[in-house]
Amino acid sequence: MPKRKAPEAPGIPEWVLTYGDLMSLLLCFFILLAAFSEIKQPREYRKVLEAIKEALGSSGGLGLSEIDADITNSINSLMPELAKRDDQQKNTNQQPIPNISGRNDRANVVHQSDRTAIGSSMPFDPGDFQLSTSTERKLKFEIAPMIADQKYIVQITGHAWGQPDRARSGLSHVELSFRRAEAVREYLVRECGVNPQILRVVAAADQEPMTSSLDIGDGSMANRRVQLYQTGQTVEEMHPDPNFTGRGG
């Protein structure tokens, strides 16, 4: 009678090998993530990225998605041609199609930034555009030190309000508000040494009242005022020759 074969010792299940391989790949994946978290050399990183794309079968390029339909008038159909024109560059910051020339070949527009009020407003008596002693003291010792050495443009906005301003001055609200702002600008330049290039006179007339009061008492005094605002614009942004040397473009 032949001897019975001894039972073999149970081996490692097949799923364990597969699981081990997956864990090894996952570990390699996280090691690559940690290595790429700080890109020191972009060129080497680009080479590694291209190698990974090639290994995964990715065609790369300009991020096109393959579609079955042939849409000849879409941007997708134009991108391969643009890529060839740009010598297969993956990224480009140049516009391959030149802009249409307009009436002016270049624009010089600087958007107005937010304004910040400088000090409190300076009130005026009805119909008056002369500076009072308190206003002159405030301009010289409070306002001028804050703007004398800066290059940011300062708006001097004059305001007028109500029938008393027109009746007592004989001027329109626009003209009266301009004269109030101009009186402040002239004092800052003449007595305080402020650079006139940073000062801009604005006549707001009666368009920006602080109160709707129509009387001549304290309620409407806040509307007859001059307020200074500092902008985020510099003289260099607004003038091609800010020092007026005659050599500007």
Put simply, whether the predicted model's pTM sits higher than 0.85 gets the answer no
Q: For residues 174-203, give the mean pLDDT.
A: 93
Q: For residues 130-159, give the mean pLDDT.
A: 90
Digit-coded pLDDT (tens) for 21-63 = 999 999 999 998 887 776 556 667 777 778 887 777 665 554 5
Q: Which residues contact 151 (CB under 8 A, 6 or more apart)?
A: 198, 234, 235, 236
Digit-coded pLDDT (tens) for 87-104 = 555 554 555 555 555 555
Percentage with pLDDT > 90 across the chain = 29
Token pair of 60 as six digits: 């790369």
Residue type, 17: L
Contact (Cβ atoms closer than 8 angstroms) between residue 144 and residue 125: no
Query: Which neighbouring-strand residues pair with 123?
Result: 225
* E runs forming strands in the chain: 116-123, 152-158, 199-203, 225-234
Q: For residues 137-145, give the mean pLDDT.
A: 91
3-state secondary structure at position 61: coil
Q: How confident is the model at residue 158 (pLDDT cuts 50, 70, 90)?
A: very high
Parse the chain into domains and list their residue ranges: 39-61+78-89, 116-238
Beta strand 152-158 with 116-123 is unpaired
Q: Which residues contact 65 (CB under 8 A, 6 or more apart)?
A: 76
Please tell me the CATH code under which domain 116-238 is placed. 3.30.1330.60
- Compute the chain's Rg from CA coordinates: 37
| 90-99, 190-199, 240-249, range with the lowest pLDDT | 90-99
